[in-house]
A and B are shown apart, each in its own frame.
Chain A
């Protein structure tokens, strides 16, 4: 049953469905996307299946992602303007080959976790990229709305609008977006005083999704460790898999919920212990909170503030009318 479902929702099935060769009700991912771009998608990363492509120079997901995005970043200004007063320049254009961390030229990498679980040493490989959160602070409080949560669930940075202030990286609990200085709209405004490049990260191959294709990493994975599909189905498959493997899930509750679910046969606490949070190398702390949730109550009160103002204004205004009427009546009475 489990194997059948996995098979049905595998990337190959989805890919076939995109060409119309295979019709799976409810799971015909690319066709569904084309028919209704509002449908929310989710991806599942099964750590019991990922082997980090140890027989290859680089994991397949990393290789294909680099290939797809090799021309994403335009030519870098030479020299790159030095911002003022904090003179931070982040230039990865001469280190494009780096693949063991997130960079503006590398949107996914695979972390190797050597752990001992139930007395047995094990190696777990963890592909890391943007989680495409359900309510991503990186997108919602971007001051220029250059980063946006699409209806299909992908969180996409528009490099034509991004000023590279790195606010998105600061508010992301995993600090996923990475900056390339010397590129973008800021060069045409006040490069020394405002902005510092463009932020880059995985966009879930949003353009490929629009074309009815799965993300490159999903398509390239030789072990079908990654799948994508309608959110409800992916969440259901994730639950079934953790039941079957007596395993653990990550991404369902973290940062308020995400469109990326990891399932693992070992606890994420143990995996997280092997990850030292460094620039471009996020940790995987279970239960990480959505910090912006703390501002929601005040935001809700701001939304009802017009009603408060109207009610108070009406009460005060009608009270004034009533007092004026009373005064006029008294004056008329006095005048006989």
Chain B
């Protein structure tokens, strides 16, 4: 994580390349998993999706399963990478803190003109809560998906109780994953949050935005002596 203030460029580096690769790797493979998972349901033919240009393959369950498996490789690997890498580094920025729930409600109220936002650290309190929610959904999807994959490849006669449990948990959390994804997109669509979108594409957010909304984070960066007046990279 190369957090630093680039004074002359008027930017603050929010995410390093590793975090960007993790985020986009999981996001893009997750989207492919979501779509190919939908096509594992008998719906593409019924809803004439197979008639759409470029989607004739969607009715072939083996093709969508192959796509699902392939997309799951970076998805699973990056999820485990994330856990181990940030665990070793001791990164705690996204771990919920005491009072986050209450603070999140206040922040959401402020979006609708009720009250003022408190000064933020790098992440908003609702971001920390959402992170844990998404991480739990992803963890359960991965675990249940691995059981289903093991059954498909090695153990078609796995005990029915395990298969049923894994299948229904996978299905339920698949729906939760869709809802969480929509919530994530909805959150960044909110006007006060939009400046953060730049950060997840380029790694940096505007300094004036950070000064206004994330003063605690800037203070932390300064305390660590990561302020470059000439704007040069490391």
Interfacial residues, chain A to chain B (CB-CB below 8 A):
83, 85-86, 134-137, 139-141, 143-145, 148-151, 153, 165-167, 170-171, 291-292, 294-296, 298-303, 305-306, 308-310, 312-314, 316-318, 320-321
The answer to whether B42 and A303 touch across the interface, beta carbons within 8 angstroms, is no
Q: Which residue of A lies closest to B160 (CB)?
A: A148
In the complex, chain B residues whose CB is within 8 Å of the CB of A316 = 18, 81, 85
A296 to B168, CA, bound (A): 22
In the complex, chain A residues whose CB is within 8 Å of the CB of B40 = 141, 143
In the complex, chain A residues whose CB is within 8 Å of the CB of B175 = none
A320 to B168, CA, bound (A): 40
The answer to whether A320 and B151 touch across the interface, beta carbons within 8 angstroms, is no
B97 at the interface (CB under 8 A from A): no
Residue of A145, A298, A302 with highest tally of chain B CB at under 10 A: A302
In the complex, chain B residues whose CB is within 8 Å of the CB of A294 = 62, 66
Known: A85-B46, A170-B42, A317-B87. 5 other contacts (CB 8 A): A141-B152, A299-B149, A303-B150, A313-B87, A317-B84
Q: Which of B65-91 contact A (CB under 8 A)?
A: 65-66, 69-70, 72-89
In the complex, chain A residues whose CB is within 8 Å of the CB of B46 = 83, 85-86, 165
A144 to B169, CA, bound (A): 10
The answer to whether B146 and A314 touch across the interface, beta carbons within 8 angstroms, is no
In the complex, chain B residues whose CB is within 8 Å of the CB of A291 = 62
B201 at the interface (CB under 8 A from A): no
25 contacts between A and B (CB under 8 A): A85-B48, A137-B61, A137-B62, A139-B156, A140-B152, A141-B61, A141-B152, A143-B40, A144-B168, A145-B163, A145-B168, A150-B157, A167-B41, A170-B61, A171-B62, A295-B66, A296-B153, A299-B69, A300-B153, A302-B69, A302-B73, A302-B145, A306-B77, A306-B80, A309-B76
Instruction: Indicate which residue in A170, A296, A298, A317 contacts B89 across the interface (CB closer than 8 Å).
Output: A317
The answer to whether B65 and A317 touch across the interface, beta carbons within 8 angstroms, is no
In the complex, chain B residues whose CB is within 8 Å of the CB of A298 = 66, 69-70, 73
In the complex with contacts A292-B65, A317-B87, A305-B156 CB distance below 8 A: no
Instruction: Indicate which residue in A86, A143, A166, A302 contacts B146 across the interface (CB closer than 8 Å).
Output: A302
In the complex, chain B residues whose CB is within 8 Å of the CB of A320 = 85, 88-89
A308 to B75, CA, bound (A): 11
The 8 closest A-B pairs by CB, nearest first: A309-B80, A313-B84, A317-B88, A165-B42, A298-B69, A305-B76, A309-B77, A145-B167
In the complex, chain A residues whose CB is within 8 Å of the CB of B7 = none
The answer to whether A318 and B62 touch across the interface, beta carbons within 8 angstroms, is no
Q: Which residue of A lies closest to B83 (CB)?
A: A313
A331 to chain B, nearest CB (A): 10
A309 to B21, CA, bound (A): 13
Interface size on B, residues (CB 8 A): 49
B47 at the interface (CB under 8 A from A): yes
The answer to whether B153 and A303 touch across the interface, beta carbons within 8 angstroms, is yes
B17 to chain A, nearest CB (A): 11
In the complex, chain A residues whose CB is within 8 Å of the CB of B27 = none
A135 to B153, CA, bound (A): 8
In the complex, chain A residues whose CB is within 8 Å of the CB of B45 = 86
The answer to whether B84 and A86 touch across the interface, beta carbons within 8 angstroms, is no
A139 to B78, CA, bound (A): 30
B82 to chain A, nearest CB (A): 7
Q: Which residue of B lies closest to A320 (CB)?
A: B89
In the complex, chain A residues whose CB is within 8 Å of the CB of B70 = 298
Instruction: Indicate which residue in A150, A166, A295 contacts B65 across the interface (CB closer than 8 Å).
Output: A295
B164 at the interface (CB under 8 A from A): yes
The answer to whether A140 and B41 touch across the interface, beta carbons within 8 angstroms, is no
A296 to B151, CA, bound (A): 11
In the complex, chain A residues whose CB is within 8 Å of the CB of B142 = 306
In the complex, chain B residues whose CB is within 8 Å of the CB of A301 = 69, 73
The answer to whether B77 and A308 touch across the interface, beta carbons within 8 angstroms, is yes
In the complex, chain A residues whose CB is within 8 Å of the CB of B160 = 145, 148, 150
Instruction: Indicate which residue in A145, A292, A312 contacts B81 across the interface (CB closer than 8 Å).
Output: A312
In the complex, chain A residues whose CB is within 8 Å of the CB of B167 = 143-145
A317 to chain B, nearest CB (A): 3
The answer to whether B153 and A313 touch across the interface, beta carbons within 8 angstroms, is no
Q: Which residue of A lies closest to B67 (CB)?
A: A298
In the complex with contacts A85-B47, A85-B48, A309-B81 CB distance below 8 A: yes
- Contact flags B25-49 to A (C-beta < 8 A → 1, else 0): 0000000000000001111011110
Q: Which of B187-231 contact A (CB under 8 A)?
A: none
Q: Which residue of A lies closest to B146 (CB)?
A: A303
A171 to B42, CA, bound (A): 11
A194 to chain B, nearest CB (A): 8
A322 to chain B, nearest CB (A): 11
Residue of A137, A305, A320 with highest tally of chain B CB at under 10 A: A305
A37 to chain B, nearest CB (A): 11
The answer to whether B79 and A309 touch across the interface, beta carbons within 8 angstroms, is yes
A314 to B89, CA, bound (A): 10
The answer to whether A151 and B62 touch across the interface, beta carbons within 8 angstroms, is no
B171 at the interface (CB under 8 A from A): yes
In the complex, chain A residues whose CB is within 8 Å of the CB of B73 = 298, 301-302, 305, 308
The answer to whether A295 and B89 touch across the interface, beta carbons within 8 angstroms, is no
